[in-house]
Amino acid sequence: MAVLLSVKAVDAGYGPVHILNQVQLEIQAGQRLAVLGRNGVGKTTLLKAIMGLADVSGGQISWQGQDMARWSPRERAMAGLGYVPQTRDIFPSLSVAENLVAGLKGRPRRCIDEAYELFPRLWQRRDNPGTALSGGEQQMLSVARTLLGQPRLLLLDEPLEGLAPIICQELMQALGRLARDQSVAMVLVEQKTDAALRFAEQALILERGTVVYEGQSARLQSHPEVLQKHVGLSAH
C-alpha cells in the first residue's frame, strides 16, 4: 500500500525551543496510529510539525512522496491533511450549520448533510450557536467541519478530553466507520490510553521528544509494564 505521510528524522519545536528529536513514522491509507506519552513530551508538536504550524529544523516531512517543507498550512490542508486541534476552534457566534459551511472548501452547501449523517446529534443542534453546545457537541462539530474538506489523513489532538463516556463512544464509533468505509488515515494523540489502543492498530510512544516505542497496539496492550514506564498508565 502506498505511503501517504512520511516523517523522516524530524527535529522540530518553536523558535529556539527544541522539542522533537529524530522522529520517524509512516502512515498509509486507512491506517490508524495512536501517539501516546506523558504531557509535554511533544505529541502536539508532532501534529503541528506535520501541519506546518511548528518549526522543523531537521529531517523531512513528505506527503505522497512530495517534500512539504515549503507548503503553508493551507496548502497542506488542500492537499488532503485535516487537523482537529485540542482547542476545537469552532466559531462560537455561528450556528452549527454555518460552522459546517465554513469547512466545505468550495464544495456545494448540500454536502453538510455528510456531517449530519456521521453525527446525527449535530442535525438536532443545527440552528444552535456554538456557545450553546456541550463540550462533546463542540468536539463533534470540530471533527465534522474538518471532515467536510475530505482529508485523506486526519490528525486528532486529544479529541476525548473532558467528554462524557457516551459521547466518547459515539465519537470513536463515527471515526472508526470513517476509517473503515472511506480509508481515511488517522493519527490520534490521546491521554485515554485504553481507548486509543482499542481504536488504533499501531501505536507510538514519545518520551522527551524521542520515539521510544513503535509497533502494534495489541502488543503494547499485552505489555503493561511498557505503558507504565513510558506513559505512567496501564491499558484497561
Provide the pairing of β-strand 210-216 with 202-207.
antiparallel
What is the predicted pLDDT for the residue at 1?
A: 65
Provide the pairing of β-strand 32-36 with 210-216.
unpaired
What is the predicted pLDDT for the residue at 178?
A: 87
Cell of 184: 481515511
What are the angstrom distances between the C-alpha of 193 and each of 37, 122, 157, 204, 217? 9, 27, 13, 11, 10
Q: Check: CB of residue 46 under 8 Å from CB of residue 20.
A: yes
Q: Which domains does the chain have, with CATH numbers?
A: 3-230 (3.40.50.300)
pLDDT digit of tens for each residue in the chain (236 aa)? 689 999 999 999 999 999 999 999 999 999 999 999 999 999 999 999 999 999 999 999 999 999 999 999 999 999 999 999 988 788 989 999 999 998 898 899 999 999 999 899 999 999 999 889 988 899 899 999 999 999 999 999 999 888 888 888 888 988 988 888 888 999 999 989 999 999 999 999 999 999 999 999 999 988 888 888 888 865 54
User: For the CA atoms of 87, 177, 30, 153, what is the dihedral angle to 10 degrees?
Assistant: -30
